């Protein structure tokens, strides 16, 4: 570990203890050795191993060996989702599927697109969530999906929905995490899909003033022409939404380093990341208190 990173992690440990593990996972997943985690590359394989090892050390269950769900897309391309689950106690036959894509843009020439915010941050938050949920028997069963090939057209989540390891009708909700570690120019993190849960919305509004709620039907047509503004299709919750499954999507908006080689771990905002993790955890705790009929509430 370079001295600079040690120093930085120490500062963060003192300032915001909740983020240390998250920051380290982000740093590892966006390290130069991962080569930008482009689908089908050696860097992606390294990322797969990293995530599978973390699942294993959390003693998460697997549907298939090494947690791998392989799939094909496009013109003979292959992708690999890394999928684990943890069985719940109150509603074990009802699943909350947490998704976060681990793939990114790879390299252009010698420039590596590290993808620290996009989306090492979401994967790290998913791992943190798994670590917390495995400390007890949660109400719901949870499936954790680190998706591949999101950047090229949500292929990993499409493949998961096309061949789910549990029946689609048993999935009560998709919680999708994509770019959660930096504020956009308005200083905000965005949550889409919460309109169907008014009490959750009220609670989050009370506790998190940097959270912006987005109701995709309310967006003007012009805003939807920007892919990051087309909320139902902006990330991996899209295929779940189209399959009639309720979703909640925590995600950031574009920032100056979005999809550039400068989306590095050094630019992560630790306090913002801590706030995001708290909001995600608050949401999961709320979900845990609700019966499946409430979670399945019709898509807004």
Binding site for Zn ion (CB under 5 A): 118-119, 178
Residue 35 beta carbon to Zn ion: minimum distance, rounded to whole angstroms: 17
What are residue 82's DSSP bridge partners? 68, 146
Nearer to Zn ion, 27 or 181 (CB): 181
Phi, psi of 247 (to 5 degrees): -140, 155
Nearer to Zn ion, 128 or 151 (CB): 151
In angstroms, the CA 187 to CA 118 distance is 17
Residue 213 beta carbon to Zn ion: minimum distance, rounded to whole angstroms: 20
Give every CB contact of residue 170 below 8 A, 6+ residues apart in sequence: 93, 94, 95
Nearer to Zn ion, 38 or 196 (CB): 38
Q: What is the CB neighbour count within 10 angstroms for residue 226?
A: 12
Nearer to Zn ion, 148 or 178 (CB): 178
Give every CB contact of residue 33 below 8 A, 6+ residues apart in sequence: 43, 46
- First CA to last CA distance, the chain: 46
Residue 188 beta carbon to Zn ion: minimum distance, rounded to whole angstroms: 17
Nearer to Zn ion, 105 or 143 (CB): 105
Nearer to Zn ion, 24 or 254 (CB): 254
Concatenate the DSSP letters of all residues of 188-240 into one string: -EEEESGGG-HHHHHHHHHH-TTEEEE-GGGS-HHHHTSTTT-GGGSSTHHHH
């Amino acid at each position: 570990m370079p001295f600079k990173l040690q120093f930085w992690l120490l500062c963060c440990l003192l300032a915001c203890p909740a983020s240390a593990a998250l920051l380290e996972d982000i740093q590892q997943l966006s390290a130069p050795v991962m080569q930008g985690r482009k689908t089908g590359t050696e860097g992606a394989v390294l990322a797969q191993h990293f995530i599978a090892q973390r699942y294993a050390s959390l003693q998460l269950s697997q549907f298939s060996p090494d947690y791998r769900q392989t799939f094909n897309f496009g013109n003979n391309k292959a992708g690999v989702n890394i999928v684990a689950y943890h069985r719940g106690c109150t509603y074990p036959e009802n699943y909350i599927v947490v998704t976060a894509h681990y793939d990114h843009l790879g390299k252009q020439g010698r420039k590596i697109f590290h993808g620290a915010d996009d989306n090492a941050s979401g994967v790290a938050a998913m791992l943190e969530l798994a670590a917390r949920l495995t400390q007890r028997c949660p109400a719901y069963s949870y499936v954790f999906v680190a998706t591949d090939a999101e950047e090229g057209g949500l292929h990993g989540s499409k493949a998961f929905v096309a061949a789910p390891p549990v029946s689609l009708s048993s999935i009560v909700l998709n919680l999708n995490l994509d770019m959660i570690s930096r504020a956009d120019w308005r200083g905000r993190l965005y949550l889409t899909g919460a309109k169907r849960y008014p009490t959750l919305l009220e609670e989050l509004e009370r506790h998190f003033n940097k959270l912006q709620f987005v109701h995709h039907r309310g967006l003007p047509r012009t805003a939807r022409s920007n892919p990051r503004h087309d909320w139902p299709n902006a990330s991996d919750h899209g295929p779940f939404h189209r399959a009639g499954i309720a979703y909640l999507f925590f995600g950031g908006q574009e920032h100056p380093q979005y999809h550039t080689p400068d989306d590095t771990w050094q630019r992560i905002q630790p306090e913002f990341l801590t706030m995001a993790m708290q909001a995600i955890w608050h949401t999961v705790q709320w979900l845990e208190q609700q019966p499946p009929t409430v979670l399945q509430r019709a898509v807004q």
